[in-house]
Every structure is written in structure tokens, then in C-alpha cells.
Amino acid sequence: MRLKNIQYKLTLSILLVSAASFAQEKPEEKKTDKPTGALTEEIVVERPYKPVLADAAKIRRSPDLNSTKAMKSKLKYSVLDKKLELNSDIRQLQAQPLSLQIDRPLTHSYAKLGFGNFSTGLAELYLNTGPDEALQAGAFFKHFNQEGNLSKQQFSRQEIGIFGKSVLDKITLNGELGFDRNSTYFYGTMRDSIRPINANPEKQRYGTVSLRGELIKNYGENETSDYALKADGYLLSDKFNAKETSLALSGFYNKVWKQFNIGLNTSADFTQTKDSVSIGNHIFRANPYIKLQGPTYKLSIGVNLVQEFGDASRFNLFPAVTAEVPIVPEFATVFGGFTGNVNKSTIRELSNLNPYLNSNLAISNAVEKTYAYGGIKGNAGAGFGYKAMLFYKKLESMPLFRNDITRPERFNVIYDDAKVTGLEGEISVKISEQLSWLGRLNINNYNMDTQEEAWFQPDFRLFSNARFTINKKITIDGEIVVNDKTSALIYSGSQTPEIVKLKSYVDFSAGAEYLYKEKVGIFLRVNNIFGNKYERYLYYPKVGLNVIGGLNYSF
């Protein structure tokens, strides 16, 4: 039966193939009487093919759009049979052996000795217990003397003292006991002449014994309050039996509360001056304040209460307002303030400015009725700082020096009200440990009440200092002072006052130090290089170019 079916299928396949072959044969060309080249085939045009999908092949369901089943593709990994090498066996560090050469020990004391022209002598000695900052003690001694070409143009100064410092757990204690002696002669010389005003110039000498003590609370990271106490006292006398004693007690307390600082500065200053008469000049001060510091500003508001008592009594109340606002953080800050104060006049302060004072000086305190200022300060990098400030002062009883009528080589102290406007500027540059420079500028305009001029007060003053370390052995430095011309008032033979001008001057000095050996050095200092015999005060010319050289030893 199976064989018969195969025969039927074979016969049917042969018939189908034969039919397909016959269908592909071209139809016979129809003969025609038309000439050669005419149409010989019949073209049948049929409609284009249009596929139609049978109903049996259609998917009769809509897709499920809510299906969240994610397709997971089959991934194949080919893991390489390689071993990862880890260098986990770290070699143990070996200690660096110490050098057999012993480093130079740090020194904390030194001695200095020098000589120069104009019979100049210099000696210094500084002793300190060591590098322990928590416990310091020491002593110092300084001597300087010089003699010019004019009669009795002699200067001498000595300083000696002991000091100590102790840093405890919560407070730090500082103390110093010292003696200062400054002597000269009234060598005043007639102008344009070497002839002294007084044929036998008298000697003047100021000696001061001073004592200072201080207690300061140490800084604590979580502390909210600070305080300090300080005591200063001195006893001064001169060659003509003038004496002055002073004791000042001061302190401050500050409390931090949120962004506020609330505090009080206070002091009591008792000064007694005795010459032909005794003058009591005492001052009590109190400065309560409140400070507010934010991320972009600082503001302080307070008052200055100043009570003068003694031979004269006066109460003063001044505002004390200061503010700072950075315009470029860490680079430029605008600041300003408005305040007032009382500046005490003492023989000690006046003689430090001018040692050629007369006896029986008038003593009166200077009152800053108004002090308004404003400016800008900041840094331009780690080694560059600057400050520029404009100010206005209204002063009552501003002290001035004026030559005495009968003994013009001596100076009296007079007082006058004044209005002062000015500009102060400062620039400091520290390029590295090897090079630093500092410059200060002061420009003042004085408007006096009764006096014609602000005697011996320059309108312009410039100070500049630079220091440069060439290498480990050589260091050089230079200093320049420029002082504008000043005015003085003198009396001629007819007792008519006359204003004279003191020329402006430039004082340039330079020095060098050379480390000869490990602890021994050589120094050289040249002062007044331009040799200007200028007058800071009338009738008192300075010495010309002077040179000092010597040795220093550190230990």
C-alpha cells in the first residue's frame, strides 16, 4: 500500500513540473503585413501586486501596555584565568641614623661692644635664662655716649633692668624693674656761628626708676571671658631737683555673649610733679563698651568717662564708636571711628621729646574734644600689608615748645587750642625671611587758635626702614627719615617776637653685620650719611656723619 502511494505522488509531481514549463514558453508571434521594425509583441498591462495577509495569520489580540515584566537578556562572561598580584608585603621602615655632626646650639644671650668717631662708645649686654617660653628671666644693660665738635655737645644714655615672665595654667605674670639715665648739656649755639649762647653750658640729667607688673588671663578655646590687670610706676628726677612720681593701675574685663562682647576698660593714674611748686595731676578713666562682630562687619559702641582731679578738676564724657567692614575679605577693610580722650602731660613724656627743658614747667593735660578718622587697611598676600587713614582732631591745650626769652637755650611748654587734619599711611612688605621693608608717612595741617604756628611741628614726616639678609653670614639694613621744615618763635634785642624757619632735612643711615664665626660677629653702622647738621630744635644742631663699628658675641 505504501508503495502505491509513493507512485501516485511521483506521477503528480511530474505533471506539475510539466505544466509550469509550458506556462513559461513565449506565445507565437503573429504574422503581419507591416514592414520590418513595427511592433511584433502584444503587451498585457495588469494591476500591481498587492499582498494580502490571510486571516489565519493575523494576531487577534491587542498588546498589554500595563505589563511591567522586564526583558532579561542572556549574558555570557568569559573569565580569564589570571592571578592578581598584590604587593602586600610592605618593607619595615628603617630609622634614619643621626648625623655625627652636632648642630649649633640656640643662643639666648648676647654681648655687644663698639666704638666710632665723635668719641662714640657703645656697649650692650642681654642675659636670658633659656628657650623655655613658660618661664623667662633675665637682665639687660645698654650704654651710649657721643661728643660733637661744639662746646659741650655731649650725649650719654644708660639703661639697666631685670625682668621675668611665668606662664601658669590659667594666667601669665610679667614684671620688670629698670633704671634709665639720660644726660646732656645746654650746648645751644648761636645761629650761623659756633659760639655758644651760654659761655658755660650747664648739664642736664634725667634719671628714672620704673616698675611694671602685669597679670593676663590665658586664652582658652571654650572660655567666654577675658581679663587683665596692670600696674606701672616710676620716680623721675633731673639735675635741677625737679621730681615726678607716678602710679597707674589699669585693667579690663571682657565677656562674650552670643555675637556680642561686653566689657570695661578702666584705669586710675596718680601723678605728682614737684619743682618750685607741687602739682597733683590725677586721672580716672572708664570705658564701658559693647562690640558686635558678624561675618562681614565689626561694630563697637561705648563711652569714655574721664575725671581729672588734683590741683585741677574736670569731668569729660566722650563717645567711643568704631566700625570695620571688609570690602574685599582678607585684602581690604574700610574702618572708621569717632571718639575723644584726655592725654596727660608729664615731665617724663615731654623730656623724651625734648631734653632741653626749662625748670618750673607749666603742666596741663591736652583734651581731644573730637577725634574722627576713617580709612582702609588690609593685606595683599601673606607678606604685604597696608593702611591709609584720614583724620580730624579738635584739641584743647595742645602742648608746644618755645624758646625762653631770657635763656633761649632752654624751652618752655605753652598750650594752645588747635584743629588738626591729616593723613597717615603705612606699608609693610616681607618678601621672605631675607627681605623686609617698612614705610610710614604723616601729613598734618595745623590751625592754631592764638599761636601763629605749631612750633617745631613738621607738616610732613616720612620714615622708612629696610633689612636684607644676603646669606647666612651677611645682613644689611638701611633707614631714612625725612622731616619737613618747622617754625620757631624767638625774641630779638627789642623783645619783639620773630618767626624763624628751621630747614627740612633728610637723615639716612645704614649698617651691616657679618657672622665671622659660629658665635662671633662684626657690625658696622654709618649714621647721618649725608652729613647734615640739621636742627630738630632751634640752636641745637646735630652731629654730622658718624661711624660705629665693633663686635658682638652670642651665647
Q: Determine the 3-state secondary structure of 76 from DSSP.
A: coil
Q: What is the mean pLDDT of residues 56-75?
A: 58
> Where does the pLDDT of residue 53 fall: very low under 50, low under 70, confident under 90, or very high at 90 and above?
low
Q: What is the full DSSP assignment across 542-555? A: PP--EEEEEEEEE-
For the stretch 303-315, pLDDT in tens is 999 999 999 999 9
Spatial separation of the C-alpha atoms in residues 515 and 499, rounded to whole Å: 51
Domain boundaries, the chain: 131-554
Q: What per-residue confidence (pLDDT) applies to 517?
A: 87
Q: What per-residue confidence (pLDDT) applies to 50?
A: 62
The answer to whether 254 and 262 are in contact (CB under 8 A) is yes
pTM: 0.79
- State the cell numbers at 304: 569714655
The answer to whether 379 and 330 are in contact (CB under 8 A) is yes
The answer to whether 314 and 305 are in contact (CB under 8 A) is no
Q: What is the helix (H) or strand (E) element at residue 6, kind and residue range?
A: helix 2-23
Mean pLDDT, the chain, rounded, equals: 86
CATH superfamily of 131-554: TonB-dependent receptor, beta-barrel domain (2.40.170.20)
Q: What per-residue confidence (pLDDT) applies to 295?
A: 83
Q: Which of 422, 336, 416, 431 is nearest to 376 (CA)?
A: 336
Amino acid at 159: E
Q: Which of 547, 548, 473 is nearest to 513 (CA)?
A: 473
Range from 48-52, 116-120, 216-220, 521-525 carrying the lowest mean pLDDT: 48-52
The answer to whether 100 and 108 are in contact (CB under 8 A) is no
Please indicate whether residue 58 or residue 479 has the higher confidence score (pLDDT): 479
pLDDT at 56 over 80: no
Q: What is the mean pLDDT of residues 155-168?
A: 97
> Where does the pLDDT of residue 20 fall: very low under 50, low under 70, confident under 90, or very high at 90 and above?
very low
Q: How many residues does the chain have?
A: 555
Residue 358, C-beta contacts closer than 8 angstroms, at least 6 positions apart:
404, 407, 410, 411, 412
Q: What per-residue confidence (pLDDT) applies to 112?
A: 97
E strands in 129-259: 135-147, 154-167, 171-185, 203-217, 225-238, 243-257
pLDDT at 32 over 80: no
Q: What per-residue confidence (pLDDT) applies to 193?
A: 82
For the stretch 265-324, pLDDT in tens is 999 999 999 998 999 999 999 999 999 988 889 999 999 999 999 999 999 999 999 999
The answer to whether 482 and 496 are in contact (CB under 8 A) is no
For the stretch 426-473, pLDDT in tens is 999 998 888 999 999 999 999 999 999 999 999 999 999 999 999 989
Q: What per-residue confidence (pLDDT) applies to 63?
A: 59
Q: What is the mean pLDDT of residues 420-427?
A: 97
pLDDT over 70 percentage in the chain: 80
10 Å CB burial of residue 208 (0-12, 13-18, 19+) is: buried
For the stretch 37-46, pLDDT in tens is 444 455 555 5
- State the cell numbers at 127: 642675659
For the stretch 198-239, pLDDT in tens is 999 999 999 999 999 999 999 888 888 999 999 999 999 999
Grid cell 602739682 — which residue? 279
Grid cell 611748686 — which residue? 277
Q: What is the helix (H) or strand (E) element at residue 349, kind and residue range?
A: helix 347-353
- State the cell numbers at 198: 651760654
Share in percent of the chain as helix, strand, coil (round to 5): 5, 55, 40
Report CA dihedral (209, 215, 216, 220) to the nearest 10 degrees.
Answer: 150
Range from 59-73, 150-164, 345-359, 494-508 carrying the lowest mean pLDDT: 59-73
Spatial separation of the C-alpha atoms in residues 274 and 54, rounded to whole Å: 135
pLDDT at 148 over 50: yes
pLDDT at 100 over 50: no
pLDDT at 341 over 50: yes
Side-chain half-sphere exposure of 186, counting CA atoms within 13 A: 21
> Where does the pLDDT of residue 78 fall: very low under 50, low under 70, confident under 90, or very high at 90 and above?
low
